[in-house]
Amino acid sequence: MAWSGKGKRGFWRALAAGRGGVAIVEFALVAPIFLLMLLGIIAYGGYFWRAHSLQQIANDAARASIAGLTAAEREALARAAVRSELAALTGLRPDSAVVGVSEASDTLLVTLDYDAKQDIFFHLAPVPMPAPLIRRTAAVRLGGL
């Protein structure tokens, strides 16, 4: 900013013509919005990763339970499959999952409820998040055809 020393009028003209601090002011205006969007993307990405992983685990548990001959054996196989897959995935806590196995006529239904209240993604987001209880189900027909 070149100020020639011609009094107050010259100072204000030189200040109005200067462009030195424009980038800082623009950044100060845009940065909070950008950070909110970035944290929202990370939080929702974590939520969708969990929901997708839990659906895959429920699907695998339903497929694993087909090998059982009795209802009790099918339930034990499904629970074991959920337990082993949850332990293998980093970021998911096996103690936050509740497995339900039910049979109706020729269909076996595996329900997986996961409480994600303690997950960092729900505390990281400055935006409204979905319900922390993630419920996923998988069904498989019993008896072949």
Residue spans per domain, the chain: 8-141
- The dihedral of CA 140, 104, 100, 66: what is its sign? negative
Whole-prediction pTM: 0.76
Q: What phi, psi does 8 have (nearest 5°)?
A: -65, -40
Q: Do residues 82 and 61 make contact, with C-beta atoms less than 8 angstroms apart?
A: yes
CA atoms within 13 A on the CB side of 64: 20
CB within 8 Å of 15: residues ≥ 6 apart: 1
pLDDT tens, per residue, the chain with 145 residues: 555 556 677 777 776 776 777 778 888 999 999 999 998 899 899 899 999 999 999 999 999 998 888 889 999 999 999 999 998 988 888 888 999 999 988 899 999 999 998 888 888 778 888 999 999 999 999 876 5
Distance CA 74, CA 62 (A): 9
Q: Do residues 131 and 115 make contact, with C-beta atoms less than 8 angstroms apart?
A: no
As to burial, measured by CB atoms within 10 angstroms (0-12 exposed, 13-18 middle, 19+ buried), residue 81 is: buried
